[in-house]
Amino acid sequence: MIFEAFRRMREERPFSAAFLVTSGDLALPITWKQFTDDIDIVVHLIRTYAPRAKIGILGENSYEWMVAHAACLFSGAVAVPVDTNLSPQEIAERLRSVGAAALVHSSLYEEQAREAGRLTPGMVVAGFGTIRTERFLDKLRSAFGLGDSVWRQRHLELDEDSTGEPQTSMIVFTSGTTSTPRGAELTFRGLESAVEAWARALPMKPGERSLMLLPLHHIFGICTTYLMLAHGVALGVCPDFRRIYDAFERFRVNYAFLVPALAEILAQKIQQRGDSAEAAFGKPIDWILSGGAAMSRLTYEHLTSLGIRTLTAYGLTETTATYAITPIESAPHVGSQGRVPLVHRDIETRVSPEGELLIRGACVMKGYYLQPERTADAIDVDGWLHTGDIGRIDEDGFVWITGRISRTIILSSGKKIAPEELEERLTALPGIREAVVSGEGETRDIRAEVYSANSDEFTRKMIGDLNLTLPVYKRIKTIVVRNEPFPRTSSGKIRV
């Protein structure tokens, strides 16, 4: 599906924009012909010098990053996206853990890449997006007449290895908000299955515009980027999320995929310039889809007040970002995480008797790389992946998440509390922007740490008033007020 979509765009719309990049005040196009030509040359390099190798990719969001990733997929190599926030030691540790043969990097991260290479003997380190790299690629094109060879072939069957098992195409590390990140082995077939599920819910047409804004070392960013490219959507390259308003304005965006924190930043910047997105940009935003973390009711209402239709999605790295998506045609279900695919040949979802959300199908990872015990803990003998999230699926297929098994607070009385429920109640109070609820001490008394725009005294009074509406066992005993946001992972989740 993805390979064929790329080939179709190359044949039918070769000079239309695949990407838009900034040059001064202009948004310049990179055509589908150039994109697919560049993929072709890198596929040749991988097949010649590193066939079936594991290749780390380190860099900010960029056109070159996507060329490297797509070439890994189409050559049969294994792409290993690397978080740009990691230290050289952490980069080296992750790449050693998966046996990476090479690390390619942008010039911005050359120092970290070189140090990681020094710590990983035998691993090749090479840059992309430099003048030197471009000259080298041009010489190869001339020498081998490349630029069209891979697209003349029938797509090689890259989804099975010699034993008939699904072949690993990516190793993507989990976000690691509460534990050591693990490398999830994902397949090309799983990526295509995920893209198909998203495509059923969201309308997209060739020539429309969006952004490559979400970090590409996370599966949400990877999945949505391939989804849009497969539909011929021109992607404005935005390597710095702090420039989100400028990117929307410059690239004339039709719709976008964001995490809740970015959606709130966008809403605030729009509000500074007008009473609606259309007033601020001179054109409406068709929709925004938020994923990666739960969106608060306040952010949803803020976006809605600006005339922006807001959709939600839910998934894990282990499920190739797939579980539930809000279809564009559905009525708003504020607070839900989207709707499960009602009819899909590759994906099944259900809720266990204990209330845990489960998923089975092509989008589910093969396992955690070289961690069979952790894999067995996550995927049962019938192939169901246990998400670790507690929730329900209503009669219309919408998913409502009430907590995380790993975060459930069990009081000394034996009663169980989902901290997410209290966090939602807290962030609904005026001025409380973020909240983390936990149990402390042997009694597991409820503790709430909040980031508030209000004074300490007023914040405590509001929480005290909230307590009066709660059952006694759910009341917050300890309150900590902070005057700065919580640290977050690079995917926008609060680091618990």
| Whole-prediction pTM | 0.84
Beta strands in 300-378 (DSSP E): 310-314, 324-325, 347-351, 356-361, 367-368
**pLDDT digits 0-9 by tens, 274-285:** 899 999 999 999
**pLDDT digits 0-9 by tens, 229-262:** 999 999 999 988 888 999 999 999 999 999 988 9
Looking up residue 126, the CATH number of its domain turns out to be 3.40.50.980
Q: Residue 253 domain-assigned?
A: yes
Provide the domain limits for residue 133.
1-158
Which of 404, 438, 455 corresponds to the end of one domain? 404
**pLDDT digits 0-9 by tens, 184-234:** 999 999 999 999 999 999 999 999 999 999 999 999 999 999 999 999 999
Cβ neighbours of residue 3 under 8 Å, at least 6 residues apart? Answer: 74, 155
Q: Residue 427 domain-assigned?
A: yes
Do 378 and 237 lie in one domain? The reply is: yes
Pairwise CA distance, residues 446 & 357, whole Å: 25
Q: Residue 195 domain-assigned?
A: no
Q: Residue 9 domain-assigned?
A: yes
Q: Residue 196 domain-assigned?
A: no
Give me the number of domains the chain comprises.
3
Do 187 and 168 contact (CB within 8 A), yes or no? yes
Alpha carbon 225 to its chain centroid, in Å, reads 10
- Identify which of 98, 91, 105 has the alpha carbon closest to the alpha carbon of residue 77: 98
Do 140 and 217 lie in one domain? The reply is: no
**pLDDT digits 0-9 by tens, 446-467:** 999 999 999 999 999 999 999 9
**pLDDT digits 0-9 by tens, 289-306:** 999 888 888 889 999 999
Do 396 and 477 lie in one domain? The reply is: no
Which of 104, 129, 158 corresponds to the end of one domain? 158
Do 396 and 412 lie in one domain? The reply is: no
Do 9 and 104 lie in one domain? The reply is: yes
Do 268 and 206 lie in one domain? The reply is: yes
Do 127 and 264 lie in one domain? The reply is: no
Do 337 and 436 lie in one domain? The reply is: no
Pairwise CA distance, residues 211 & 236, whole Å: 5
Do 318 and 441 lie in one domain? The reply is: no
The pLDDT of residue 164: 67
Separation in Å, CA 163 to CA 159, 160, 166, 167, 381: 11, 7, 9, 10, 20
Q: What is the mean pLDDT of the chain?
A: 90
**H helices present in 19-173, as ranges:** 32-49, 63-75, 88-98, 110-118, 131-144, 149-152
**Given CA atoms 396, 398, 400, 401 in this order, what sign does their dihedral have?**
positive
Q: Residue 193 domain-assigned?
A: no
Count of CB atoms situated within 10 Å of the CB of 107 = 16
Separation in Å, CA 142 to CA 49, 88, 139, 146, 147: 18, 36, 5, 7, 10
Give every strand in the sheet of 310-314, ordered side by side.
255-258, 287-290, 310-314, 324-325
Give the pLDDT band (50/70/90) at residue 398.
very high
Rg of the chain (C-alpha set): 23
Do 371 and 396 lie in one domain? The reply is: yes
Do 275 and 390 lie in one domain? The reply is: yes
Pairwise CA distance, residues 61 & 427, whole Å: 31
Q: Residue 431 domain-assigned?
A: yes
Looking up residue 228, the CATH number of its domain turns out to be 3.40.50.12780
Pairwise CA distance, residues 53 & 70, whole Å: 14
